[in-house]
Structure 1
Amino acid sequence: MITKQVWLKTILAIFLSICIAFYVNQFFKSISEQVGVVVASENIPAQTQITSNMLKTVQVRAEDRSLLVPNAFTDIQAAVGMVTLTPLKAGEVVISEADKLVLPNESVSGIPSENKALPKAFFIPPDQRAISLKVDAEGTLGFSLNAGDKVDVIFTSTNGEMGGIYSKTILKNITIFDIKTISEKDRESSSNLILQNVTLLVSPEEAQLLALSKRKGKIDFILTPLNPDSQDWDLTKPTYPQEIYEKEIINR
């Protein structure tokens, strides 16, 4: 006759066997589970834009990847186009971290990030150029403009060489690429000698127009709204001094 104690031992043995089988199965499963990890196929210098031929995928244990390099890229195409901030050695795992890689155009309108290690040239779209202008407080809305703002550009001729005195909108909806910070002391100053460097993103043809304009007159920026109306302003018609006197008062 089988005693109660024998039954308990039998049940316990079966339970332990099941547990051991489960953990052994999990162990072998973790060994067999592998994932692809992106590594450098060659030495990649700092400040280099990554291409697909610079990378390759190697297989590693999923557990090792989770423990050692959880931020590693698993898809080559996800890393293509990014720029290295530090060198990568051949065979080194490519990690998605802000102090190692940056995507040039990840910021709105291609505006450079706070990371100063990356040259600004990486943030300029291929069909555009960056050009700087020195503008006073009146022309920059009291030094209140910021990188990423959209502005229209008004040129004011102050001499006969450019056809007399007039003002004319020469460019519309231009992105401010970078802008020099003005101290609070300078902001409060009434001096017209304080100028702010403003860098714009424009086409090569527009850059030529600005290069001449900033040397032959005065530049003002007017801030555009987030959602400007669809009205197509006539940029060819300048405003002359006599129009100030002839203009009728507009009630709003």
Structure 2
Amino acid sequence: YVLPEKLAGENAGYGLPALIPTGMRAVSVRVNEVIGVAGFVVPGTRVDVLLTGSPSGSGGERTTTVLEDIAVIASGQRLERSVAGEAQTAPVITLLVSPDDAQKLALAQSQGKIQLSLRNPLDTKQQELASVQENALYRGASAPAKPMQHSKAPKQIILTAPAPAPGYQVEVYRGDKKDVTKFDSQ
């Protein structure tokens, strides 16, 4: 069957330019298996574009979401998904963006490393996300052990020998006379 949405507009030409709606732009980004989400970024899917770089004066790298919910229009030179739906690795992914987003994407590619984040096709919600800085990655990790703090010197305890155990004493009475004999406790 020939579906109307698969037909180009009158005088639209053929190939990729015919698929670009009026007022939109197709911008290609270089990818590898990691950036291209292992080949699952294929025509018809939607992605977010993340930028990782070091803004001047920031004192470290940060990652921010530059574009959200962007349509993938081509994978390499393929304009459609494979019939079986398998992954398609390609060195270039072409995204369908507004002219403003085309400028953001071009700047992002020149300022740092971009990463594509594959979206569920039903998840079209745009989110306000703060950029993530390097030091935020380590906040959840266990804190390094604190150096031992030296407390005040312990109170001096003077040990004394225990008092000698009292010896035994035996009293013997002989009539009205009393004799006392002492014995050591050992």
Shorter-chain-normalised TM-score: which range?
A: 0.5 to 0.7
Where structure 2 has 5 or more consecutive residues not aligned to the other structure, the ranges are 79-88, 143-186
Structure that is richer in strand per residue:
2
| Structure 1 residues 246 and 201: alpha-carbon distance in aligned structure 2, compared to 1, 3 A threshold | same
Shift of 1:241: 0.5
Cα distance between partner residues in 2 of 1:169 and 1:142: 20
Alignment of 1:45-64 (within 5 A): none
Which of residues 242, 245, 251 is equivalent to 2:135?
242
| Structure 1 residues 126 and 154: alpha-carbon distance in aligned structure 2, compared to 1, 3 A threshold | same
Cα distance between partner residues in 2 of 1:144 and 1:214: 21
Which of residues 133, 137, 150 is equivalent to 2:29?
133
User: What is the match of residue 15 of structure 2?
Assistant: 119
User: What is the match of residue 176 of structure 1?
Assistant: 72
After superposition, the CA RMSD in angstroms is 3.1
| Structure 1 residues 229 and 139: alpha-carbon distance in aligned structure 2, compared to 1, 3 A threshold | same
For 2:134, the aligned partner's letter is P
Alignment of 1:143-222 (within 5 A): 143-157=39-53, 159-161=54-56, 163=58, 164-180=60-76, 196-222=91-117
User: What is the match of residue 147 of structure 2?
Assistant: none
Where structure 1 has 5 or more consecutive residues not aligned to the other structure, the ranges are 1-96, 183-193
For 1:145, the aligned partner's letter is V
Structure showing greater relative contact order (alpha-carbon pairs closer than 8 Å, 6 or more residues apart): 2
Cα distance between partner residues in 2 of 1:162 and 1:210: 22
Moved over 6 A (4+): none
Shift of 1:215: 1.3
Cα distance between partner residues in 2 of 1:160 and 1:206: 19
**DSSP-derived class of the 1:121 partner:** helix
Structure that is richer in helix per residue:
1
With the length of structure 2 as denominator, give the TM-score of the two structures.
Answer: 0.59
Cα distance between partner residues in 1 of 2:56 and 2:104: 16
**DSSP-derived class of the 1:206 partner:** helix
For 1:228, the aligned partner's letter is D
1:24-70: CA deviation from partner (whole Å, max 9, x where unpaired):
xxxxxxxxxxxxxxxxxxxxxxxxxxxxxxxxxxxxxxxxxxxxxxx
Contact preservation (8 Å) 2:52, 2:64: yes
Contact preservation (8 Å) 2:76, 2:90: no
Aligned length: 127
1:205-238: CA deviation from partner (whole Å, max 9, x where unpaired):
00000001111111111111121174x4214x11
